[in-house]
Amino acid sequence: MSAPAAGGGPRKFGKFEILEELGQGAMGTVYRAHDPILDRPVALKTVSPALLAGKDTVARFQREARAAARLQHPNIVTIFELGEVDGTRYIAMELVEGIELSEALGALDRFPLERRVRMIVDVCRGLDFAHKMGVVHRDVKPANVRLTRDGTVKILDFGIARLGDSDMTQAGIVLGTPSYLSPELLQGAKVDHRADMWAVGVILYELLSGRRPFEAPTIASLVHKIVNEPLAPLDSRALRLPEPLAAVAMKALEKDPARRFCDLDAMAKALLVAIGATPAPDTPLDPVVRKRAYEANYAEARRLLADEDLSSALEAARRAQRLDPERTGILQIIRVIEDRLRGEATLEQPPKPGSTDATRTVAPARARVGPEATLPAGGAPAPPAILPGPLDTATLRARGGSAFRDQGTFGEPPATKEAALSPVADLLAVAGADGAIRLWDLRSRARAHVLRTDLHRRSGHDAAALALGFSPDGTLLASAHVDGVVHLWDMAIGAEVAVRMRHDESVGALAFSPDGATLATGSLDASLRLWDVGAALAGEARRELVRQPSGVTALAWAGGGEWLLTGHASRVLRLVDPHRGKLLATIRGPEALVNILLLSPDGQHMAVASHDRSVRVFDLGTREVQATLGPLRRPATSLCFLADGSFLATVCQDNCVQLWDVASGAPAAALWGPAGECFVGLALYGDSNQLAVALADGRVRLWASAT
């Protein structure tokens, strides 16, 4: 660290300006700093060279950065950069302004019970996301959870995070805070995600009772109590708590990990049920009923397979699989059906030399973006000719999932973060985890171009995009990134427009106005920014700033460009007049962070997806909920209207595209991919009769009309 600047100015650490010390953590000192290159505040964690003298310590520090950098979630602090200056290693991360959870929950009357429980639900959701990415925190405690000014919960300091497949953290080394450590960790046993669940259980117990479940004057006696002594039950009557809420805390604090919740998503659901925020789950099926239902669906799958109705056979087989996932017979049938479907996606053999085929047609040439498009190595062959005509409501209601036929996959790594379809061509933009954006021609299955920033061209990596959006005429693509930067891309030349647009924190939402003149971007910095697209093309970042009461997590234009609807981490929707910056209405309904807003084809309704695992369809005229779709298996990651808005398709990070009947709010059909696939993006293309689904591994799966 260099000496303070003359006149008492900020100290310098590499490119960073150190403004003040925030505290010391498990790995070193944390500073409030400023990044002058990207003009943003950061929290800068440094570790003295003396602490990194051993190879194990260096590896542990590097593991922290790699583990945390993989986690991009509204309830987890964002990692910007890892580096080294004069022998001192550092991590630059999102600066979270707010208070520690311990301060927020210290006085039981500071927040109502429901609000406090929802804070714990957000902690569960953030940790569950990390666990599904293979990362265990291992040091969850109130000091590592902050409540931002807009009410968002942020988990900090994956400073001793342990990648699921790493064997470097040795048993017996106590790295965490004793009061929140699980019995298995203290005993040196194998640790998994349920150790974090124990810590959340301790926080919940403390929240409900005002004291920790185990207390002792010395560390040795505290460890003995945690490992050996039974937990004092919560007296729900004396504490005036719902009995189910006390039961959730007790279950999370079972000494045997196998008796806790299966994961933190299940614990979050139980908490919401306990406070009445969601209905209780359906009563489990009687084993005899489950067995009969499995056998009926198994027989149906075999019959449909024999009749060559492969799509319907796959639906029946998937129903049987959900009823009994362990049966090997249904897994074999699913593999057979999937192989048959993939076989149908290949091209017919071309005619022999000299032969004629008067009925064969040649597809017209497609417009290309940037350099000449080429097929990636091992790319899939082009699909058969597509039948014209959009799918209508009657077809979908009559045929359900069998109205589509699986056409297989194509694509390449890296992992996909976001996807968007051009409005004028069958061109899918896919944002990768490496920060680049790949453009795929869905007709030819060829990679048309790769959009890279200057930093990506130099280093092979840049901040990942959280949102993508095309201009109405398809000539521009905007990408919003985790580091707060917004890039504008000229599709005619496949290059970035030289303009600097940015927010102070991550940007998770953007959309062009219907006339293409304005680009709206929303950020966790609690601002909505309206950029002049014409000025941006001339290199001038001219914008209007509309302050918001909390972080913006979703946005969409409505009313032909007269309104902007924004979704927030605080669960509200705000209808804004973008021309005057005036709030027109506040709309409530979602029970958790709003992550997607999608306008219906007729412009009269808005689909609102939330982390409460539902999609609500609002009538924009009355601003009332017309239908609630759900519950989903996980929060939706992408939505798509079909059949003029009568149906809505959702994907939620599993291997299923769920079709919903908007009028009834009931599930209508499902399109299934092979087990193990993870769907993250969704788009309707062609003549509104084909679906493109972006997979988390970088591939794209296509479904075409089977009519």
Q: What is the pTM of this model?
A: 0.54
> What pLDDT score does 437 carry?
95
> Can you read off the two tokens belonging to residue 162?
């342990």
> Can you read off the two tokens belonging to residue 299?
């027989």
The helix/strand/coil state of 625 is strand
Measure the CA angle with vertex 380, ends 375 and 383; round to 5°: 105
Report residues of the chain scoring pLDDT below 50: 2-7, 160-176, 345-389
Shortest CA distance to 334 belongs to which of 357, 360, 316? Answer: 316
Shortest CA distance to 462 belongs to which of 480, 440, 435? Answer: 435
Known catalytic membership, residue 139? yes
> What pLDDT score does 388 carry?
37
Catalytic annotation, pick one of 139, 157, 196, 426: 139
Mind listing the pLDDT tens digit for each residue in 185-224? 888 888 888 999 999 999 999 988 888 999 988 888 899 9
Q: What is the CATH number of domain 6-93?
A: 3.30.200.20
Strand ranges for 559-621 from DSSP E: 563-568, 573-577, 582-587, 594-599, 605-610, 614-619
Domain ranges in the chain are: 6-93, 99-274, 287-344, 393-418+506-705
> What pLDDT score does 110 carry?
72
> What pLDDT score does 157 carry?
77
Residue 365 to residue 252: CA distance in whole angstroms: 60
Residues, the chain: 707
What are the φ and ψ backbone dihedral angles of 333, each rounded to 5 degrees? -65, -40
Parallel, antiparallel or unpaired: strands 679-685 and 690-695: antiparallel
CATH architecture of 99-274: Orthogonal Bundle (1.10)
Please check whether residue 315 is in contact with residue 672, taking contact to mean a CB–CB distance below 8 angstroms: yes
CATH code matching the domain that covers 393-418+506-705, chosen among 2.40.50.70, 1.10.238.10, 3.30.70.270, 2.130.10.10:
2.130.10.10
Please check whether residue 146 is in contact with residue 154, taking contact to mean a CB–CB distance below 8 angstroms: yes
Q: For tokens 């000494």, name the residue.
A: 255
